[in-house]
Amino acid sequence: MTDALLQTPVVTADNLSRDYEVGGGAFSKPQILSAVSGASFSVMPGRTLAVVGESGCGKSTLARLVTMIETPTGGTLNIAGNDVTPDDWSNLRSTVQIVFQNPYGSLNLRHRVGYIIEEPLIINRPDMPKKERVARVREIMQLVGMRPEHYDRYPHMFSGGQRQRIAIARALVLEPKLLVLDEPVSALDLSIQSQILNLLIDLQERLQLAYLFISHDLSVVRHVADDVMVMYLGRAVETGSKEEVFANPRHPYTKALLSATPKADPRGASTRIRLQGELPSPLAIPPGCPFAERCWKVQDKCRAERPALDGDSHKAACFFPEGIDAEASAPVA
């Protein structure tokens, strides 16, 4: 890969949004659910952007937008230097591939492993000779740590970690530039998680892949990410490098998430922040800061105005960010 390509983002999103109409009928209008609202980011070759947050924050919807499974209702998406429209999907999909959370559900149990990995080539490169396709499949299998005899076996004959290796091989066979990893290790045993994470890191170094890593597990994010985007109710509330976000979280929600992350060192001090109040309904997000009613630093301004995501390299959507205004202290469990 040339130096120019290494300095060009693989994917760039600008104010990306996705709304859904919910309910409605003969006598009522449908409500609008904003699953993703105004997400902006870019990912360079060889780097990993981790998107973190609680269930329902919009992480998986964002993954579907980037992989062109769904069409955004607002904003722009640029992949490999091309502005993405539905007309371009068929040409760009080989550039972006996804690895799903559950390897037990993402593989067709009726097919042998060799065919599962080969199928993207059959669909996207129909003119490629069969001999070349098989050689490519075997090369990718070796790359992800699978043995030649696995080619003719069925997915049910493998463990969860081995099935995820099959899924990764299937994603890599088209030589993508970006992998979207949607909770890729959360369904695996802890003893296997580190093996898959180390494999992904090794593949990234070898192939200069860009990763969009979706996760709710900050201990995993700490291990793999270069940059972090924290989402809350469909909005990015903090972005920055992994070092900045973990060492100096600026948004109270990020600080609360980090306080709930288990520490490897049992001697290390750990104070759990206990959030007050309920998560607002995504169908009725309050007009001010969506986190206001759960925040220990809330003031009248927070309930009246929505803070913008401001800052230089380390941004937070908060009027009174942590580390700057320390008058209020977090409630501890």
Q: Are residues 61 and 147 in the same domain?
A: yes
Reported confidence tier of residue 18, pLDDT bands at 50, 70, 90:
very high
Which residue, 215, 246, 277, sits at the end of a domain? 246
Domain coverage including residue 240: 3-246
Question: In the predicted model, is pLDDT for residue 21 greater than 60?
Answer: yes
CA dihedral 292, 239, 100, 115 (to 10 degrees): 160
Residues 6+ apart with CB under 8 A from 140: 117, 169, 172, 173
**315-319 CB contacts, 8 Å cutoff, 24+ apart:** 315/238, 315/239, 315/240, 316/237, 316/238, 316/250, 316/251, 316/254, 317/235, 317/236, 317/237, 317/238, 317/251, 317/289, 318/237, 318/250, 318/251, 318/252, 318/289, 319/289
Rounded alpha-carbon distances, angstroms, from residue 145 to 1, 141, 196, 287, 288: 24, 6, 10, 51, 50
Distance (Å, whole) CA 17 – CA 209: 25
Q: What is the pLDDT of residues 233-281, one digit of tens each?
A: 999 999 999 999 999 999 999 999 998 877 655 555 567 888 887 888 8
The whole-number pLDDT of residue 170 equals 96
**228 and 128: one domain?**
yes
How many domains does the chain contain in total?
2
Does residue 132 share a domain with residue 100? yes
238 and 215 fall within a common domain: yes
Q: Which of 214, 246, 278 is the last residue of a domain?
A: 246
**Is residue 106 located within the same domain as residue 173?**
yes
Distance CA 153, CA 107 (A): 13
329: which 2 tokens?
A: 């202290």
Q: Domain boundary at 246, 279, 298, which?
A: 246
Q: What is the pLDDT of residue 173?
A: 97
281: buried, middle or exposed (CB in 10 Å: 19+, 13-18, 0-12)? exposed
Residue 90, CB half-sphere, CA atoms under 13 Å: how many? 4
pLDDT at 5 > cutoff 70: no
CATH of the domain at 69: 3.40.50.300
Residue of 79, 112, 84 lying closest to 180 (CA atoms): 79
Question: Are residue 267 and residue 119 in the same domain, yes or no?
Answer: no
Residues 111 and 11 in one domain: yes
Residues 6+ apart with CB under 8 A from 92: 68, 79, 80, 82, 84
Q: Which residue has the tokens 């799903």?
A: 100
Looking at the chain, the whole-number percentage of residues with pLDDT higher than 90 is 70
| Confidence check: pLDDT of 144 > 60 | yes
For residues 226 and 254, membership in a common domain is answered with no
35 with 163, same domain: the answer is yes
Residues 136 and 262 placed together within one structural domain of the fold: no
pLDDT at 275: 82
Same domain, 198 and 275: no
100 and 187 in one domain? yes
- pLDDT recorded at residue 2: 55
Q: CA–CA separation, 219 vs 64, rounded Å?
A: 24
Predicted model pTM: 0.92
